[in-house]
Amino acid sequence: MIFSVIWFVFTVFGSGALVAGLLFLWTGGQLGEVSGKLTPQQAELHLAELEKQRQQEEEAQERQQREVRLDRLQQQNEALQDEITRKQEERRQQRVLTKRFGEAISEAPTPTPESQNFYEKLRSGISKTREQMIDGLSNALLGKKEIDEEVLDSLEEALLGADIGPETTKQILEVVTSQVDRQELRDVDALREVIKEEIVRILQKEVPIPNVADRKPAVLMIVGVNGVGKTTTIGKIAAQYRRDGHRVLMGAGDTFRAAAIEQLTEWSRRAECDIIAKSQGVDPSSVMYEAVEKAVREEYDVVICDTAGRLHTKKNLMEELRKMVRVIRKIVPDAPHEVLLVLDATTGQNAIFQAREFREAADLTGIVLTKLDGTAKGGVIIGIVNEFDIPVRYIGVGEGIEDLRPYDAKQFTDSLFP
């Protein structure tokens, strides 16, 4: 009889129903066995325990689902807060930039009376550097009559304290020691003059800025770490070229920050230059290519390429810099004609470390030293000029457009040693 029933279920409902039925019969039998072994009171307690376990499992599952939802909401909230913070920072930077633009340059890139007083402003701007250097040397030699090991040790400390750098300090000490050994230098008063002459000799290394007429277009690439003033430097250099009657095109290669693109766009408007700018996140090399290609096609005199601020220790970003150079050379094989590294004088010896790394990545042709005004670390320019075969092209001593000027060795040394 049982086999007839099984065959009927199999033929009518299929194998799935057959398996389900057999399981039902088996579990029913098991439950029956359990129920048969338990008293009614025990069976009721057993059922209550099973119900309790079921409720606990449901509560645990609900709790887990709530935690997942809370985590998701927290992540969304954090992302929203980050976006709000980023937008607030961009608005703050834009307000600062708008204020600085209004103070830094006029609507037209015309000379101001300040250009005639740059020497006075330079002297005033590097006064802290001058005091640090001269006072340090004077204190090192105070009360000394003869040049001995103690004097040389004090001299070394003073030169290092002036942020001249270990390599240049060593070189100056070798000059002094050599003259002492030859008995050409015997007293402290003469020592002061020897140090001054050696520093002046180092600073006299000056290479004129290339003539734009020699190349058309002249391609300039501006590089440096974050916060040194690359974009502002581009705006000031562009405005000076425009003042001299040249057609200038800017390339907004800092595509990592929307604020950087907006900042350079504002500078292009103020300096009456054209600009190639793309949206945030675009490959900067493509911006470089389009800018240089347009400059060649439309016969611009100068094209100035901005780049994203990058740490000199980030190798992948430095490789990206090399890629930009390769892309530019596909259009103009000998470009970029100038690769200017912008350095912040207030960073002292870190500026020298940056120069070393960037020189390996981009074949630097010149240095722009900004923020010389108000810092006692301007002595770093001596170490930079001495240690690297890279000329200082521009120096900056203020926010105004005329406060960034081509480096004049005599003017600078006269300001440092009046």
Cα angle: 5, vertex 10, 12; to 5 degrees: 95
Locus of tokens 């350095």: 343
| pLDDT of residue 51 exceeding 80 | no
For residue 175, pLDDT over 50 is answered with: yes
The values of phi and psi at residue 343, to 5°, are -120, 145
CB 304 within 8 A of CB 349: no
Average pLDDT over residues 233-239: 94
Instruction: Give 403's contacts (C-beta < 8 A, 6+ positions apart).
Output: 114, 118, 121, 236, 373, 396, 397
Q: Which two tokens stand for residue 174?
A: 């070798």
Confidence of residue 332 (pLDDT cuts 50, 70, 90): very high
Give which of 191, 176, 110 is closest to 144, Cα–Cα. 191
HSE (side-chain half, CA atoms, 13 Å) at 86? 10
pLDDT at 14 over 90: no
Query: What is the band of 100 on the pLDDT scale with cuts at 50, 70, 90?
Result: very low
Asked whether the predicted pLDDT for residue 352 surpasses 90, the reply is no
CA-wise closest residue to 280 among 246, 249, 304, 255: 255
Query: How many residues does this entry show for the chain?
Result: 418
Whether residue 280 contacts residue 257, with contact meaning beta carbons closer than 8 Å, is answered with yes
The contacts of residue 122 (CB under 8 Å, 6+ apart) are: 372, 395, 397, 411, 412, 415
